Amino acid sequence: MEQNNFKETVLRISGVNPKKCMRCGKCSGACPNYDEMEFHPHQFVSMVENGEIEKLMTSPSVYKCLTCFACVERCPRQVEPAKLIEAVRLCVIRQAGQNHLKPDQIPEMLDEDLPQQAIVSAFRKFTK
Amino acid sequence: MQRIGVFVCWCGSNIAATVDVKKVAETLGKEPCVVYYENYQYMCSEEGQNKIINAIHEHKLSGIVICSCSPRMHEATFRRTAQKAGLNPYMVEIANIREQCSWIHKDMATATEKAIILGRAAIAKVHLNTPLQAGESPVVKRALVIGGGIAGIQTALDIADAGFEVDIVEKKPTIGGKMSQIDKTFPTLDCSACILTPKMVDVAQNEKIHIYSYSEVAAVKGFVGNFDVTIKRKARYVKEELCTGCGACTEKCPQKKVPNDFNLGLDNKHAIYIPFAQAVPKVATIDPDYCMMLKTGKCGVCSKVCAAGAIDYKQQDELVQQQYGAIVVATGYNPIDLKNYDEFAYSQSPDVVTSLEFERLTNAAGPTGGVLLRPSDRQHPHTIVFVQCVGSRESGEGCGKTYCSKICCMYTAKHAMLTREKYPDTEVYVFYIDVRTPGKNFDEFYRRAVEEYGVHYIKGMVGKVSPENGKLMVQASDLLDNKQLKIEADLVVLAAAIEPDPSARPLATMLTTQMDTNDFFTEAHPKLRPVESATAGIFLSGCCQGPKDIPETVSQASACAAKVIGLLAKDKLLGNPCVAESNELMCNGCSSCEKVCPYGAISYVDKEFKMPNRTIAVRRVANVNPAVCQGCGACTVACPSGAMDLKGFSNSQIMAEVDAICK
Amino acid sequence: MQVEKNFEPTVVAFCCNWCSYAGADLSGNNRIQYPANVKIIRIPCSCRLNPMFILRAFQRGADGVILCGCHPGDCHYTSGNYFARRRMTLLFSMLSFLGIEKERCRVEWVSAAEGAKFAATMNDFVATITRLGENKKLEDLRCKK
Amino acid sequence: MQEVIKQKAIELLSSGKADRVLGWKEGEFFYDITPAVFTDVKEIEEKFVYNAFCGPNFSKYLVAESRKDGKIAVFLKPCDTYSFQQLLKEHRILRDKVYAVGIPCDGMVDIEKIRQKKIKGITGVTEAGEVLQIDTIYGKKEVAKKDVLAERCENCKSKKHVVYDELIGEEGDVLDSHRFDLVEKIEAMSEEERFAFWQNELSRCIRCNACRNVCPACTCEKCVFDNPASGIDQKAAADSFEEKMFHIIRAFHVAGRCTDCGECSRVCPQNIPLHLLNRKFIKDINEFYGEYQAGADMETRAPLTDYQTDDCEPSVILTKGDQ
Amino acid sequence: MKKISLEKLNALFAEIAETKALYLPVDTETGAQYQKWEEGKTLSSALNTVRSAKDFFFPQTESLVHFKVEGKKIEIMDVRDEGAPFVIFGVRGCDVKSFELLDRVFLQDPVDTYYQNRRNNAIIVSLACSEPEETCFCHSFGISAADPAGDVTAWIKDGEIIFRANTEKGEQLLAPLPLEEGGEAKAEEARSEIEAITKKLPLQNLPLEKFKAENLMDFFNDPKWASLSQSCLGCGTCTFVCPTCHCFDIRDFDTGHGVQRFRCWDSCMYRDFSQMAAANPRLSQLERFRQRFMHKLVYYPANHEGRFLCVGCGRCLSRCPISMDIVKVIKELGGERDAK
């Protein structure tokens, strides 16, 4: 029940129909951060389709996605995996206290090369 | 006044169990003009048919109504019965009291009442039936084949074999088509030229076949059995009848920087050229965009070296008019343009090639003389990546196609296998989504590539190809091993989707045939009439109808020829008599009907009419060609004045049925 | 109220010869029932249906008229149903503009394979017409018995 | 303007550019102007008029006139040019037999509207700018021209001439009219209200056929309603069904061909707003199949002889209207 | 004479409607039309109705006989209805005159009993025209707008309506009604006022003198018909609004269970008028146009002691889509012609 609810939520937030996927793997072929990710874009698509959302939610992969949209751009069937990943991430951070980035973690991450904007967008992306 | 006979069939118990057939017959017998009625167990049996024949004779019936099964079942039977009795077959109407009455109702009273109403409607219609005669039209015993690829060649040869004249119109200077560019054929690996060129010679030598090469179809008029086609013969600046094909001109021509389209631009040719050694007709052609003589008036070398005096710089396009009984469309396909596939770096690196380009690179007659060298540095490639489904099976707005191009899996396997055979030191990777091998010996062929030749088949689409330091970085995911691969390749071969030739769409308009949204011609029926178009007399051969490999193309080409022969063997064509007819006195000449006719059956003539007070007026009126009309009736509704009516389904007949049902 | 109960509508169904008439036959072959109120008139193609015929049916006492043809794209004559679709859309819109109940006319695409759909369509259409009651707005009183 | 046009008519006739001139001829009163074919310069000088009562659309006359010997010159107001071009498109007029002169139009006055203002016994009208000065047997009256404009002119769709050989005055533009407002209002009524509305309107029909006979889209050699073989011929509406039948079929037959010239409503002796039926079709066509103006060009396919594979289904109307 | 205050007019209508159906011109959005009186309807002040009063006796469609068909059996059914007395109130002089002209057609032997029944049942209350219009030319035909005929004549003057019974039927109508005696002076006053206005009307002295049987062929062959008929659309508006036009067609309507034979108006202006031997003998619009006016101005007078078949009501003047009317025809043809 819970699982279905998550699946429904992910599908609603993303507007993606994973059934359109023909399992070609071009998304993962195009992914520049493939090796960093536990689950790869094509797996997101099939796992969402199979309702295995919680597995995805607990994986660091959701934060590793660069949101570069290469997978969206390359997908021959307009499945848009990045939107699914984003939706899973939203499912996580919408749960109370699930902010992935906490303000007190920031100081230790700071170095000279980190642009200000990156911090701002990281907050946008990883917090509620 | 009609004299109508009503025959009610029991169909054993199929009808009689739920419909009181006796009551139906008796009630319908009371209808005006019904002079005879009868009910019988099996009207379609010989005994039943004899009853009808006798009744027609005895009661001088002018029309009959059969209350029985669906007209889709036995209308033809009862029409023949009527004809046997000397009654026009179109004076028969069927009331469907089985499929549409006894079988769907349980209550006897209800079903009987409905059967009576359906009978009344049929009687009301038959009141207004008129005897119809199918029109006849003669057949010109000559066929036109548009396109001189393997499909066109095979169709033409088969038709000519049956003794009919055939003309082939080919827009290129030679026939042969794509097959002439291919190196070897799957799954047998025969040399393509070895099996194609003898056929091309057969065509050239066949007295019944005439080739219009370097020509296009400019206009098509007429209809099945009587097409009137205008063929544009483009000026090739060489007199075809004089040229011996010796090739002296092509060697001496000083303009050497003409991209060679036969080799897909991988090398250059001269401004005067013969596409390849076995070209048919083997006649030189001048490319007017590059010839210095034609462009500036200075040169004339070819003319000087031509011993036959065949060069004619003043040649003009020529229009030829010819009549045909049947037209075969064999316009073929092209690989799609890949310039928008940035991820595969097709536009960025010369070492990313299409499969057809790869064919030329491996062909002994190709730019490299059959030695596999990469285009950029003419070095032997050691790692080759094949990418399948490029532009096929895509959805959405992109430049790709939604369909599977069907031939790529097999030719990629062929390329991989041949490469490994000739150059065992080469690593060959094939990235696939699915490998589709439904064909005789196809899967075996693919398995051989994997098992015997060691081709690396990897499930997963390539995501990115980027040229780096003279190499090509191929990034792809291996879906089965769940890892991302980065392969440093020397050559990347893209299995580009195939699409119909661009000449097909304007041709379809000329022929009034239908196309699907991908510009493939639509067959008359996807299962049962796969080689005919919906327009009578137009047939489809080869890839113009959908992606096909060579064996399929050849079998369709022969099937198509069989259909054409079947048509040309007839002296006269009998039409469907239920066709539209225009009442010229009422026609406004407004062209509404013409615009909705899917068959181009309606034309307009200016005709003189006697007007009030002895004046004469010339009016534009519609004229339906009964040989072309298929009787759909679209025109009858488009016509505001009601001048257009449909025989067999006239306005008054349908309204009479409506009246009978609603009263 | 009792009158409504006994009301048996007259429904005319125009079916194209190639798909829907065959679909109706199939529904017979499979013995799928639909009300006897439906009487089918065979026409070569849905594009043969002149708006005149629909009005004529209403005039003569029909309570509902339905046109069945091949699915768009499947027309035996390639484009007939596309023309029919435009004509019927405009005609129905006009009837509605004149205040005629819009459910009285319908177009359904029924293929030769859809015997069950044909029957279901007819069941639904007859139910709709029964609910609407007698056609009063487009009747010709002279044709009443 | 009358003088300019009159001079043009004289010039065309005397220069031999035209053998006949189709124009307006003065009547007994200021307003009862009759379309007439002039062949004689003197007659033009004496009788030719062009004023705010020159409503008739000449294009339909050209069906017959263009088939006579010689060339006919015709004066066409902007809206008339649409009908003219539509008839050309349907091959009803022989173009080379017609010399078309586009003339400007500031809107035509509806004499009925003046009468509705209880102005009786009208003997003369003078146009003084925006005001009409009216002489009657019961004294002088004044009305603003805009208050008595014909409905079709209030909602003028275009001041542009879409086809002509020569243009008098300046070219106008296609206007952004509110011509569908009333249609929308009716659409917004309940089904019963709509039925009552049209029942009231159409029941007045006397089947005089003026709407049909004036309509430039109704140029059939033989109308289905006059043709006993059509099965729907009628001379009078013997039942209220036949009133509706006639108007539905007529509107359907001109659907996609009607240029919305408004002649049908102008001539209806019973003042039935027949143009609303045509406008309903035009509005539907615009909504369902994309903007289409009949007569605007020679090329575009008429909406009913055209289709798109993704056209809306007839069931679309089930979800429309009935607020 | 009798009179009543206009304020009590509606009460008077109610009184009449108690016993007989009462019809009168009522204002509608689209002009005055005859309607059956019921509570709330008031007399129109318009000069004339859009449709003429001939509808009462010669309706646009009328069932003549029905045939019931069952199988091969046919049964004939007479659908005639004797009808009941009714009152038409407020008929103008022109329309009253039209009844006389129609009577000469329908009541001639053989008598049209359908028409006769209704004619006998009707009681006509005419109303003098207080405000004639510019399109009126009844005076050219010797009709008095100031003192119209009918069973009762009425005048409206200074808030009162004055009645004068002209026939026995009229007397019987007025007798039971709550009217005051008197009003002669006011009626006379109204009459002379109207006559004074009539003299001012623009359509005076139409040249009718030459329209005589002896000039028949001259008129028939007059070349002016060509230009007159040129712009005629061939619609039937003039004939349908005309109070004197009386052409009709008899048609059969198949009801599905029988046939209804009915009569309906027809128009000589129509192309499909009078399908003699399958075609209208008058092939061109010129011939059809000529027929209508020749009938009104020459043929009918020739057969009816010089009475023209026009009452000058002016309906065709205001309704013709292209403004080609009988006045223009009379002026064009009757003008400069040399009398024989």
Q: Could you read off the pLDDT of C98-127 as tens digits, one per residue?
A: 999 999 999 999 988 888 999 999 999 999
CA C58, C61, C63, C69 dihedral sign is negative
Considering only CB atoms, B32 lies closest to which of E72, E256, E283, namely E72
> Where exactly are the structural domains of chain A?
2-95, 100-128
Q: Does D190 touch chain B (CB under 8 A)?
A: no
* Neighbouring residues of E109: CB distance < 8 A, sequence distance ≥ 6: none
Say yes or no for a CB contact (<8 Å) between B651 and D231.
Answer: yes
Cα distance from D68 to chain C (closest Cα, Å)?
Answer: 35
pLDDT of residue A123 exceeding 80: no
Residues D235-247, mean pLDDT to the nearest whole number:
90
Q: For residue B136, what pLDDT is reported?
A: 83
Chains A and B form CB pairs within 8 A to the count of 74
Nearest chain D residue to C109 by CA: give it.
Answer: D313
Q: Which residues pair with B431 in a beta bridge?
A: B387, B458
Q: Best interface-test mutation with B: which of C77, C86, C142 has the largest number of B CBs within 10 A?
A: C77
Q: For residue C1, what pLDDT is reported?
A: 40
Q: Is D141 exposed, middle or buried (0-12, 13-18, 19+ CB in 10 A)?
A: middle
Question: What mean pLDDT value characterizes chain B?
Answer: 94
Q: For residue A4, what pLDDT is reported?
A: 55
pLDDT of residue D236 exceeding 90: no
Q: How many CA atoms lie within 13 A of B434 on its CB side?
A: 11
Say yes or no for a CB contact (<8 Å) between D266 and E266.
Answer: no
Residues B415-443, mean pLDDT to the nearest whole number:
95
H or E element, residue B594: helix B592-596
* Neighbouring residues of E166: CB distance < 8 A, sequence distance ≥ 6: E149, E150, E151, E152, E153
Chains C and E form CB pairs within 8 A to the count of 10
Q: Best interface-test mutation with B: which of A20, A24, A71 has the largest number of B CBs within 10 A?
A: A24
Nearest chain C residue to E255 by CA: give it.
Answer: C143
**Which of B317, B253, B224, B146 is closest to B572 using CA atoms?**
B224
Q: Which residues pair with B188 in a beta bridge?
A: none
Q: How many CA atoms lie within 13 A of B619 on its CB side?
A: 22
d(CA E130, CA E134): 13
Nearest chain B residue to E69 by CA: give it.
Answer: B32
Span D95-121, pLDDT tens digits? 999 999 999 999 999 998 998 888 888
Nearest chain E residue to B28 by CA: give it.
Answer: E71
Say yes or no for a CB contact (<8 Å) between C48 and B634.
Answer: yes
Q: Give C-chain residues touching B125 at CB under 8 angstroms.
A: none
Q: Which residues pair with B212 in a beta bridge?
A: B169
> Where exactly are the structural domains of chain C?
2-133
Nearest chain C residue to D195 by CA: give it.
Answer: C99
Q: Best interface-test mutation with C: which of D201, D241, D318 has the largest number of C CBs within 10 A?
A: D241
Considering only CB atoms, A29 lies closest to which of B389, B394, B464, namely B464
CA distances for C20 relative to B17, B347, B403, angstroms: 26, 51, 29
Say yes or no for a CB contact (<8 Å) between D91 and B651.
Answer: no
Q: Give A-chain residues touching B461 at CB under 8 angstroms.
A: 24-26, 29, 76
Nearest-5° Cα angle at B244, B240 to B247: 110
Given the cut 0.90, state whether the ipTM is greater than it. Answer: no
DSSP string, B130-178: ------EEE--SEEEEE--SHHHHHHHHHHHHTT-EEEEE-SSSSS-GG
**Which amino acid, one-letter code, is at B304?**
K
Residue D40 confidence class, pLDDT cut points 50, 70, 90? very high
Q: Give D-chain residues touching E270 at CB under 8 angstroms.
A: 209, 226, 235
Considering only CB atoms, E256 lies closest to which of B32, B612, B662, namely B662
User: 3-state DSSP call for residue A38?
Assistant: coil
d(CA C73, CA B398): 23
Considering only CB atoms, B463 lies closest to which of A20, A26, A78, namely A26
Cα distance from D91 to chain B (closest Cα, Å)?
Answer: 6
Q: Does E257 touch chain B (CB under 8 A)?
A: yes
Question: What mean pLDDT value characterizes chain A?
Answer: 86
Do A and B share at least 3 CB pairs under 8 Å? Answer: yes
8-state DSSP, D174: B
Cα distance from E265 to chain D (closest Cα, Å)?
Answer: 7
CATH dotted code for C2-133: 3.40.50
Say yes or no for a CB contact (<8 Å) between E257 and B659.
Answer: no
Residues B61-80, mean pLDDT to the nearest whole number:
94
Cα distance from D67 to chain E (closest Cα, Å)?
Answer: 14
Q: Does B611 touch chain D (CB under 8 A)?
A: no
> Where exactly are the structural domains of chain E?
2-200, 213-334
Nearest chain E residue to D39 by CA: give it.
Answer: E227
d(CA E273, CA B33): 32
User: 3-state DSSP call for residue E251?
Assistant: strand
d(CA B641, CA D225): 9
More confident residue, B508 or E161: E161
Say yes or no for a CB contact (<8 Å) between B612 and E71.
Answer: no
- Residue B410 has φ and ψ, to the nearest 5°, of -75, -45
Do D and A share at least 3 CB pairs under 8 Å? Answer: no
8-state DSSP, B337: P
Q: Does B577 touch chain C (CB under 8 A)?
A: no
E-strand spans in A33-110? none
* Neighbouring residues of E28: CB distance < 8 A, sequence distance ≥ 6: none
Span A108-117, pLDDT tens digits? 777 778 777 8
Q: Identify the chains in contact with C, defined as 3+ C-beta pairs within 8 A.
A: B, D, E
Q: How many CB atoms lie within 10 A of CB B38?
A: 18
* Neighbouring residues of B142: CB distance < 8 A, sequence distance ≥ 6: B164, B165, B166, B167, B322, B323, B324, B325, B568
Cα distance from B600 to chain C (closest Cα, Å)?
Answer: 12
Nearest chain B residue to D217 by CA: give it.
Answer: B640
Tokens of residue B274, six digits: 């013969």
User: 3-state DSSP call for residue E295?
Assistant: helix
Q: Does D301 touch chain B (CB under 8 A)?
A: yes
CA distances for E92 relative to B550, D80, E205, E206, angstroms: 93, 39, 21, 21
d(CA B442, CA B451): 14
Considering only CB atoms, E321 lies closest to which of D29, D206, D214, namely D214
Q: Does B659 touch chain C (CB under 8 A)?
A: yes
CATH dotted code for A2-95: 1.10.1060.10
Q: Does B466 touch chain A (CB under 8 A)?
A: no
End-to-end CA distance of chain E: 47
Q: Catalogue all structural domains in chain B, each as residue range(s) with its CATH number.
A: 4-127 (3.40.50), 134-233+318-332+501-571 (3.50.50.60), 235-316 (3.30.70.20), 337-499 (3.50.50.60), 580-647 (3.30.70.3270)
Q: Best interface-test mutation with B: which of D220, D223, D299 has the largest number of B CBs within 10 A?
A: D220
Q: Does D299 touch chain B (CB under 8 A)?
A: no
**Which amino acid, one-letter code, is at E123?**
I
Q: Best interface-test mutation with E: which of D113, D208, D224, D274 has the largest number of E CBs within 10 A?
A: D208
Considering only CB atoms, B104 lies closest to which of C34, C48, C143, namely C34
d(CA D124, CA D49): 14
> Where exactly are the structural domains of chain D?
1-108+158-177, 111-148, 178-323
d(CA B631, CA B579): 4
Whether a cis peptide bond, with omega within 30° of 0, leads into D56 is no
**Which of E136, D12, D128, B597 is closest to D4 using CA atoms?**
D12
Q: Identify the chains in contact with A, defined as 3+ C-beta pairs within 8 A.
A: B
Reduced 3-state DSSP string for B554-567: HHHHHHHHHHHHHH
User: 3-state DSSP call for residue E137?
Assistant: coil
D275-289 vs D240-254: helix axis angle to the nearest 10? 50
Residues A48-65, mean pLDDT to the nearest whole number:
90
Percent of the residues in chain B that have a pLDDT greater than 70, as a whole number: 100
User: 3-state DSSP call for residue D317?
Assistant: helix
Write down the H helix ranges in B131-247.
150-161, 192-205
Mean pLDDT, 10 residues at a time, over chain E (340 residues)?
93 94 92 92 91 94 93 89 91 96 95 95 95 92 94 94 95 93 92 92 88 92 94 94 95 91 94 77 91 96 94 94 94 67
Q: Are D253 and D215 in contact (CB under 8 A)?
A: no
pLDDT of residue C2 exceeding 60: no
Residue A10 confidence class, pLDDT cut points 50, 70, 90? very high
Cα distance from B619 to chain E (closest Cα, Å)?
Answer: 17
β-strands B615-624, B602-611 pairing = antiparallel
Q: Give B-chain residues touching E72 at CB under 8 angstroms.
A: 30-32
> By mean pLDDT, which of D109-113, D248-252, D277-281, E102-106 is the weakest?
D109-113
Nearest chain C residue to B122 by CA: give it.
Answer: C41
**Which amino acid, one-letter code, is at E36?**
K
Q: Give B-chain residues touching A79 at CB under 8 angstroms.
A: none
Say yes or no for a CB contact (<8 Å) between E240 and D269.
Answer: yes
Q: Is B592 exposed, middle or buried (0-12, 13-18, 19+ CB in 10 A)?
A: buried
Q: For residue C89, what pLDDT is reported?
A: 97
Residues D3-25, mean pLDDT to the nearest whole number:
94
Cα distance from E255 to chain C (closest Cα, Å)?
Answer: 5
**Which amino acid, one-letter code, is at E80?**
R
End-to-end CA distance of chain D: 48
Q: Does B475 touch chain A (CB under 8 A)?
A: yes
Span B296-330, pLDDT tens digits? 999 999 999 999 999 999 999 999 999 999 999 99
pLDDT of residue D323 exceeding 50: no
Q: Which of residues 104-123 of C touch B (CB under 8 A)?
A: 119
